[in-house]
Amino acid sequence: MTKPRPLVAGNWKMNGARASWKEAESLAGLLAADPEVRADVMLCPPTTLIAEFAQGLKGSELLVGGQDCHGESSGAHTGDISAGMLADAGATAVIVGHSERRADHGETSEDVRIKAAAAHKSELLAIICVGETETERKQGEALNVVGTQLSGSLPEKAQAGNTVIAYEPVWAIGTGLTPTLDDVGEMHRHIRSELKGKLGEAEAAGIRILYGGSVKPVNAAELMAVTDVNGALVGGASLKAEDFWGIVSVYAEK
């Protein structure tokens, strides 16, 4: 079975202003100069920058995504952004269920499932995040916790063309810590097998499962080489084009 085309997505979180366009421009330039990169590459900047980035990146290989969306398409939800608005601004994907959203905004897997379904309705790729806390891993609960998050967060119409799963151990995000390669492999195998149970063998094989949590240019090659790792969701190291390129170029033909 052919492996899915990897995705390397940069999550800028609440970082970046209009002057950060130079990083996007520089990354697009690096991508254009290296047609041998065998991966989709995406930046998810703050919502204020999506329209400008999407406009500036027209015709380039660099994709633009959002970091969150509301579950409804419009209405009285001050401060929120719908999936349709993201699509209208030029995004082609949206991250849902990031652990910072689950922790800071109390989002449940049911909320995440509704958001992912809203993303699909607006023809956005839903990047659904799952991951255990440090305590859950220490208690030997990581596989169970992630399995439960996954089944609660996966919407009915999930398929390889509209859904990506990002495994992000909470304790590895922004800490410089990463799980062992064996632990990453075990979790990605587990996620693939859960997906098979829900979506069938063929669809599950095509779904990209990203690893996220302190991916840097120095550890990207070994993490991306783990079986069933189909790319990365990158926070801190995606803010500068040069650092992010150090990760993306793992997928360049040598």
Q: Which two tokens stand for residue 95?
A: 């991250």
Residue 114 or 239 with smaller CB distance to ligand PEP: 239
Contact criterion met (CB below 8 Å) for 171 and 134 = yes
Least separation in angstroms between CB 148 and ligand PEP: 20
Q: Catalogue the active-site residues.
A: 98, 168
The residue among 119 and 199 lying less far from ligand PEP, judged by its C-beta, is: 119
**What's the rounded Cα separation, in Å, for the pair 39 and 224?**
11
Contact of 148 with 110, CB cutoff 8 Å:
no
By C-beta, is 30 or 95 nearer to ligand PEP? Answer: 95
Span interacting with ligand PEP, options 82-90, 102-110, 207-215, 246-254, rule CB under 6 A: 207-215
Please state, in angstroms and rounded to a whole number, the distance separating the CA atoms of residues 4 and 207.
Answer: 7
Q: Which residue stretches of the chain are H helix?
A: 21-33, 47-56, 83-89, 99-104, 109-121, 134-138, 142-153, 181-199, 201-206, 220-224, 241-248
From the list 84, 27, 108, 95, the residue with the least C-alpha distance to 61 is: 27
* From candidates 174, 201, 225, 227, binder to ligand PEP by CB under 6 A: 174
- Output 84 or 169, the one with its CB closest to ligand PEP: 169
- Is residue 122 within the footprint of ligand PEP (CB under 6 A)? no
DSSP state of 252: B
Size of the site for ligand PEP (CB under 6 A): 13
> Where in 213-242 is the site for ligand PEP (CB under 6 A)?
213-215, 233-237
38 vs 5: CA distance, rounded Å: 7
Q: Give dist(CA 227, CA 56) in Å, integer.
A: 35
Question: Which is closer to ligand PEP, CB of 244 or CB of 251?
Answer: 244
From the list 40-48, 115-123, 209-217, 239-247, the region that binds ligand PEP by CB under 6 A is: 209-217
Residue nearest ligand PEP, Cβ-based = 235
Q: How far is the CB of 253 from ligand PEP (least distance, A)?
A: 25
Chain residues that interact with ligand PEP, rule: CB under 6 A: 11, 168, 173-174, 212-215, 233-237
